[in-house]
């Protein structure tokens, strides 16, 4: 399906509180691998290295595989799009109590504090001349993460790159984990 149509449908579902998730126990490293694969071409085009942290180890979360790959694909897509050619994007995970924290960090231009207030608004773009997207990615990503009971935020400083982080509930009893 055309991505814009898919994005608009997602916005409507999130608005209506009807984003249905197919929750299962997921191995974090398998989710990272699929997300990385989904942006491999984009990264190669701009000679960008996507480095995956190894801390994923045996971590498992309760989530919707397709939706989590979509969130990571969005964050990685942004990181790649806004990085200088030849840059490095890091994809990492860590455990924080009863949650897993996912992080996507880039060495791009960074985002001013003022712009950070609008970043997650739908249709917002720092440069309205940017025709590569329409400004829905982060609004949808936040809606998906919140539907999982997690939260999504940014740490960024102009000239120092950006780091987007989100949390998803951890699964510690892994009897049925995929």
Ligand X SMILES: Nc1ncnc2c1ncn2[C@@H]1O[C@H](COP(=O)(O)OP(=O)(O)OP(=O)(O)O)[C@@H](O)[C@H]1O
76 binds ligand X (CB under 6 A): no
70 binds ligand X (CB under 6 A): no
Complex with Mg ion: residue 35 or 56, whichever CB lies closer: 35
| Least distance from ligand X to the Cβ atom of residue 124, Å | 6
92 binds ligand X (CB under 6 A): no
Q: In the chain, where does DSSP find H-type helix?
A: 3-15, 28-38, 40-45, 65-82, 113-116, 137-147
Separation between Cα atoms, residue 62 and residue 65, nearest integer Å:
9
152 binds ligand X (CB under 6 A): no
Figure out which of the listed residues 87, 92, 110, 137 binds Mg ion, where binding follows CB under 5 A.
137
Non-local CB neighbours of 47 within 8 Å, separated by 6+ positions: 85, 86
Which of Mg ion, ligand X, none binds 79 (CB below 5-8 Å, type-dependent)? ligand X
Of 117, 82, 100, nearest in space to 25 by CA: 100
Q: Which helix (H) or strand (E) holds 94?
A: strand 88-96
Binding site for ligand X (CB under 6 A): 74, 78-79, 82, 106, 108-109, 111, 119, 124-126, 130, 133-139, 162
């Amino acid at each position: 399906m055309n991505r814009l149509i898919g994005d608009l449908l997602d916005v409507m579902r999130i608005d209506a509180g009807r984003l249905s998730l197919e929750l299962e126990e997921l191995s974090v490293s398998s989710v990272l691998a699929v997300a990385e694969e989904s942006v491999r071409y984009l990264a190669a085009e701009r000679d960008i290295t996507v480095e995956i942290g190894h801390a994923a180890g045996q971590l498992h979360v309760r989530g919707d595989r397709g939706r989590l790959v979509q969130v990571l694909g969005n964050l990685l897509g942004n990181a790649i799009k806004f990085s200088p050619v030849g840059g490095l994007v890091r994809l990492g995970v860590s455990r924080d109590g009863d949650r897993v924290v996912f992080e996507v960090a880039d060495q791009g231009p960074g985002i001013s504090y003022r712009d950070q207030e609008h970043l997650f608004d739908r249709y917002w773009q720092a440069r309205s001349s940017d025709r590569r997207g329409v400004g829905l990615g982060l609004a949808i990503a936040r809606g998906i993460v919140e539907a999982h009971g997690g939260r999504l935020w940014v740490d960024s400083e102009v000239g120092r790159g950006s780091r987007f982080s989100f949390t998803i509930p951890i699964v510690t009893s892994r009897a049925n984990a995929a």
